Copies of this chain bind each other. A is one copy, B any other.
Amino acid sequence: MDMDKPLSELTRNRLLHAGGEVFAERGFRTATVREICRRAKVNIASVNYHFSSKEELYASVLEYAYQQASSAFPNDPGATGEDTPERRLHNFIRNFLSRLLYEGRPAWYGMLMAREIVEPTGALDRIIERAIRPLHESLAGIVRDIVGEQTSGAKITRCVLSILGQCLFYRHARPVIARLHPSIHYEDKDIERTAAHIAEFTLAALRHLSKQGRKR
């Protein structure tokens, strides 16, 4: 989408796109309507005309980003019935990381979700039901397939949180990681490397739990 051609674009769409960028970069609170309008090259009153309020714009951006993300990054791309649970776990992790760390339009939702987790707004409940809970359940299914049915639900929950925590840390602590470990990058093959580590670390833990479960 070319921002230099105002005559060919609808104002509303431009606000959605600029809003996606700015909210993803800054989060809801720090993002300003003026910055969004500046990027969209529209008058500041347009936000209230088209969206009523900054909050409604944010809600609409979330909806739009969700639609975009659903097709670009499905939750469980490996669920073809042919992959092993181990492979599905690895795919899940790589997929989730890509959403969080990739910097382009389809990544808005991942970034918006990561921000919402640590800086909750009124939209948190909707994001939980729309994205986080399904994510959690999908991952829980994979974990259960690996550790077996004898492992308690509470234990599986803990494992899911451990996996999500590892992944999200690379998003949330990015400035810190950049300072402590400049060799860790965020291009495609680095995301692959990160996913491989998390998958290996996690699989080892899950196999241990699987054996633990079988001892009872």
Contacts and interface: CB of A to CB of B under 8 A. Distances in A.
Q: Is the interface of A mostly helix, strand, loop or mixed?
A: helix
A183 B154 CA distance: 9
Contact of A158 (B176, B180, B197): B197
Interface in A147-180: 154-155, 157-159, 161-162, 164-170, 172-173, 175-177, 179-180
A125 B168 contact: no
> This chain: how many copies in the complex?
2
Contacts of A173: 117-118, 164-165, 168
A30 interface: yes
A130 interface: no
A202 interface: yes
Contact of A165 (B169, B175, B184): B169
20 contacts: A29-B29, A117-B172, A117-B176, A118-B118, A118-B119, A124-B176, A124-B179, A128-B179, A132-B180, A133-B180, A155-B197, A157-B184, A158-B194, A161-B170, A162-B197, A162-B201, A165-B170, A200-B209, A201-B205, A204-B204
